Structure formats: structure tokens, C-alpha cells
Structure 1
Amino acid sequence: MKAYLTLLIVACQSVAALAQDDKTPYLTKSLSSDAINSVVVSTSGGGIKVSGESGQSPRIEVYIRGNNNRQLSKGEIQKRLAEDYDMNIAVNGHELSATVKQKHPFLNMNWRNQMSISFKIYVPENVTTNLKTSGGGIDLDNLKGAETFSTSGGGLRLNKLTGVIRGRTSGGGIDVSNSGDDLDLNTSGGGITAKNCNGKIRLVTSGGGLRLEDLKGNIYAHTSGGGVEGRNIDGELVTGTSGGGVDLKNMSCSLDASSSGGGLSIEMKHVGQYLKLHTSAGNIDLDLPAGQGLDLAIRGEGVNQHPTKLSNFSGEWNKNRINGTVNGGGAQVTASASSGDVNLKFN
């Protein structure tokens, strides 16, 4: 079965086509009879939402607003669409395709006539996606499958995704929660918050901070322009920043953390196979588990330790270097502060 719409015949279709506001779609098309398992969307200047939450009636909604978020009448929208845009919504097999293109991309469209065209799509949870927008946010929730999406100027909001997840934004933040398996998310201009996620996780930002909470798996998280905060992480974490400090608490993992522009504050509940810490521009405050076997290789302008004496330490210990073992040795702990102190605490 193939269902096909073009804007020139929207008024003749059995869809809602009302005056546009924040809560009323320009048009709605039911997808109840199409058993959608794939969604492909490409739009201009608008956001995209795809939800697989149960209890929703399968459908696609289109929202259209004028430049500077101005409300437009149905007639104004139809006129501008007919003159400047091609919008097609089609179901072929079990794939939903929604595309928006400018009719004259190589001509300078009058900015007053430009519009934001957004989509909200409600489908079964077992759906793959391929989504692109030139200037709006992307919101995904309750989906299981391969999800690929990118935006040139908005944020990413992701919740309850399972599968291979690949997301990019050139100018917004990323918020991901309750998701897993294989996450790869990148932003060029915002921060990243990740909560309650598991599996293989890769998070990269060029212009914001990282906030990591309740993560488990193989995790790589890096920022070029902000700090790193983390709580309750299991597995393996490799993280670093070129422009801020690192603050990690209640960690039970293998950890490699570094900073070129700030200090490190690390609290280890349990050290995994290794712990590697380095800062070029600050102190390292390191809290280690007193009962775990550790191999220590620590250096800084000063090395300070509490308590001042450990009965279970063996090796060399002086004012700026430690090489030795605690509790007979075990996980390798390496920490270096190029222009600061290393402050050790055992709990």
C-alpha cells in the first residue's frame, strides 16, 4: 500500500488542516493501517520528534510557523508552500518518508517568507530512523532499533532508546537518558548530559561541559571547552577536557581522566584494572579505597597524603613522588600533576 500527499492537494485530504499555533498541527495523517517500521525525515529549519511510546495513535503531525516564530494563517502557509517549498509525505511498504525542500535552493529566498516546518511522528517502538533538519531540535523516545539523526542548529533530547544510536548536532546540547547498547553522540556547540545509560557509549562536545550520571559500560567522553562531572559509573571510562576541571564521585571502574585546563577531583569506590590521571594546570585530589590492593606511581610538585602513615604501604615515598604498593599491590594507579600537587586520601 502506498499513501502519498503533496501540499497542492492537502485541502482535499482527510486530514486536520487548521490555523497554526503551538499546539495545533497544520495537518495530521493517521498511520494506523501502515505498520511503520522505518522513518525517514528531512526538513528545513524545523524540529523532529519521533515517539514509540505505547498508547499513542500512530500518526504524523506537521507544524509550520513563519520566520521569527510568527503565527501564520492557513492561507498564508499554503501560498508560501506552493511558491517556495516541496513537501512530500509518503508511506511505501512500511517506511514513512517526510521531506521538505526549497524549490529554488540556489536563489536567495526572501527571509520574510521563510518558514519552520516541523514533524511529530508517533509509531510502534520497533522502528529505525534516519532524520535530518537544517535548524531545529530532534526529540526521540521509546524506540528500539538503529537510529541515525543530525541537526545543523538545535539540540538532541533522547530517552529510552535501545539499539545502535548515532546522533550529531552542530549547535546545540545533548540530553540522553535511560538508553543503551551502542550510543555515539556528538555536538559542536553545547554540553552533554547522560544519565542512566549502559553499553558502549561515546560522547564528544567541542564547546560545552559533560555531566555523566549512573552509567555502566565502555564509555568515552571528551570535551574541548568545558568541565567534566560524573557520579556512579561502572565499567570503563576514558574522559578528558581541554578547558575545565574533572570532578568524579563514587566511581567503580577502570578510569583514564585528564585535563589541560583544570584540576582533578576523583573519588574511587573501587579501582578497576587501572586508574590513570593527569593534569597540566591544577591539583589532583584523589580518594582511594583503603582496603584494595594497589600499585602506586604518583608524582607532582608536592604529594600530600591522609592519613599521614599507612602501615600497609611498601616502597618509596617522598615529598613529590610515590612508587610502591598498598595491601600487597594490585590495580595500577598512575597520577601526575605537571604544575600542581597530588593530595591522597584513603577511605
Structure 2
Amino acid sequence: MKLKEQMEEKITSKKNKIVIVVLYIFPTIIFCIFGIPKIMETYNESQNELNRDVTNIILPILFFVGVIYIITKFLDKFPVFIITKNGIEVRFFFKTKKYNWNEIEDIEIIGKKQFGNFFATPTEATTFNFKNKEEKIFWAESYTNSSEIRQVLERANKILLDSSKSFNSLNFETVTSLRTTEVIDIENQKIFNDNHVLSANGILFYAFLIFTLFIIFQNPSEIFEKYDKLLLINFFSLILCFAFSSSMNYFIFTEKHLIIKNSIWFWKKKIYDLENIKEIVIDMPFRSPICLRVITKNFNSNTYLASSLGNSTWRNLKKYIIERKIPLRDEILI
């Protein structure tokens, strides 16, 4: 178990900066490639009195400013949260709001909330329920240190629900990783897996794999002559093979462990001590196969797609998890 100590008595959420930079850079590049040349062309024509219409100057600028504004409003859905002993501070791009702990009724640490009207499935979130019925939502998957934030908020929620405790005792020390037993018990294994070859993703995987091999070996003498075209075709085929195979996980339970393996990547293995698991979630992300989300007691969360498992296997898995008295959340009511 690794501990991460906070130098100050506060913890600040961290956004994924790469995503933010890409969101702003992409429209800027488009504007530089298409917008600026059009503006310069129109300006030169107006100087030569060939064209007095400045529409082609104004429209690209308005479009660029509009796109940047929309991106900024979208990113404002994910403000910076600062947790202190006095309360929470929520920082948006152009404003900051502060709330004292006595304004908050309770905190739902784990669960799902609907994100706007654009996504077909709810998103993992932590919800602050205020006494005035207001809600503030911390979209966990949009922050790189959401597990640390949730650890501190879990302690804060316990203080909220126990009037005898004071927020002066709020601890900001966090656990970054949990120890996993190196020796795995191999007896009494319960395996939840189906024939991946007969699944939709399995059929597509082998179809693209065979197609790739066929393209390469149908005429070996032309490999070097048409290597550029073959390289492009095989590149996309391999990407599709990777996408289909990465979702073919299956699950093994032992007396003390949960083991996640992959039918194609047979060497790949992830092991969890059952005592370290806070909750298991059966979920179906947007336009994805059914998956198993494992949330550990330090709120690290990982999702494992399992496209090769049939509904009956999922139902048996759900029944088994309940029988083992492992906390389970079924988001799709399988």
C-alpha cells in the first residue's frame, strides 16, 4: 500500500490537460489553415478595390470565436474542485464559488448521473447534495486524481453524517495503490467465459486477421512493389483487430481473488484481492459491449469490456457475485 501525503490541508482536482490542449489546438489549426488565408485574400481584394464585401473576413473570425466559446462552456462542466477543512471551492473559467460544509447535506461518493442530453448512458459521478436542494457534480472520469479526491470526500461525508465529529479532523492523506497478494490460489476457480470465436467481435477479429494475411500473401511478388498501399490497408486492419480483441475479456473468481484475462491476449492478466474491492459494477458504456467495472477501496476504477460473454453468463456472474457478498451495482439490470 502506497500513501500520498498532502503538503497542505487541502486537495485540488486535476483535469486532463492533454484533452484540454487538443480541444483548443484543433480549431486553431483549422482556422490557421483555412480561415486566415481566406481573410488575407479578401483583404487584398478589398485593398485593390476588386471586392468591398468583408463577409469573408468577418465570418471566419466569428466562427472561430464561436467554436472557442462553445469549447470553453463545455469545459466549464468540469470545474476545478478544491477540498479544504472549511468546505469546497469550485473554480470555473470566469468565476469561483465557495461552499461551507454546513451548507451540504451529504455526498454520494459513487454512482451515476446523466451528463446533459448528448450521452445515451449516465456517467460515473460524485454528487454533492446541498440543504437547499442544489446539486454539484464531480464527473470522476474527467479528472486524473479522482480516486484521491473521492478518498477525502468519503471521510468528509462521514463527518457530515456524524454531528459529533469536526472537520478539523479531516485527513487529506491518500492511498495511491493497494497491495495485491503475489500467491494466487488456483483451487476452486469459477470461470465466467464463453466461446469468443462465435461472438460478434470474435468473428470480426478473425475476419480482419484473415483478410490482412490474405492481402499480404495472395501475391508475394507484389509485396515490395505495392508496399505503401499494403501498409495502409494492413495498418487499418490491425487497428480494427486490436479494437475487437481488446474487448474480449473474461473473469475468474477464486477464494480470495478476481482475475481478469483476455481470450486473445492470453498473456494479459489483472489480479484483484477481493478484500480490496469496494464495488463491482455491471455496465454498458456508450456504444460499447457490456463490461465489468471494478472500483477498489481507494476508488481506483478500471473497466473491462467483455463482448464475448452472453446474457446467460452475465446473469450467472451477477448471481455469483451476490452469493459471494461482494458489493454489486447493476446499471443495466441484466
- Output the TM-score relative to the length of structure 1: 0.20
**As a proportion of its length, which structure holds more helix?**
2
- Output the TM-score relative to the length of structure 2: 0.20
**As a proportion of its length, which structure holds more strand?**
1
Quick one: higher RCO (CA 8 Å, sep 6+), 1 or 2? 2
